[in-house]
Structure 1
Amino acid sequence: MEIMDDLDRKILAELQRDASLPLDALGDRVGLSRNACWRRIKALEAAGVITGRVALLDPARLGLGLMVFMQVRAAAHDAAWLDAFARATRSMPEILSVYRMTGDLDYLIRARVADMQGYDRLYQRLIGKVAMNDVSASFVMEEIKDTTALPV
Structure 2
Amino acid sequence: MTDLDLIDRKIVAELMRDATLPIAQIADRVGLSQTPCWKRIQKLESSGVLTGRVALPDPARLGFGLSVFVEIEATDHSAEWREAFTRFIQSQPVATELYRMAGTMDYLVKVVAQGMDQYDTFYRRLTDAVPVKNVTSHFAMERIKFTTALPVNTTSR
Higher RCO structure (Cα 8 Å, ≥6 apart): 2
Report percent identity of matched pairs. Answer: 52
Aligned partner of 1:16 in structure 2 is 16
Q: CA RMSD in A?
A: 1.4
TM-score, normalized by length of structure 2? 0.92
Aligned partner of 1:27 in structure 2 is 27
Aligned partner of 1:40 in structure 2 is 40
Q: Does 1:107 align with 2:107?
A: yes
Residue 95 of structure 1 deviates from its aligned partner by 0.3
> What SS is found at the alignment partner of 1:80?
helix
Q: Aligned partners of 1:4 and 1:84: how far apart in 2?
A: 37
Q: Aligned partners of 1:98 and 1:44: how far apart in 2?
A: 25
Count of residues in correspondence between the two structures: 152
Report the residue type matching 1:151 in the other structure.
P
Superposition misfits of 4+ residues, deviation over 2 angstroms? none
Q: Aligned partners of 1:71 and 1:135: how far apart in 2?
A: 6
Aligned partner of 2:55 in structure 1 is 55
In structure 1, list runs of 5 or more residues that go unmatched.
none
> What SS is found at the alignment partner of 1:71?
strand
Deviations 1:57-101 (A, max 9, x none): 111111111110001110111111111100000000100111111
Q: Aligned partners of 2:35 and 2:21: how far apart in 1?
A: 14
Aligned partner of 2:94 in structure 1 is 94
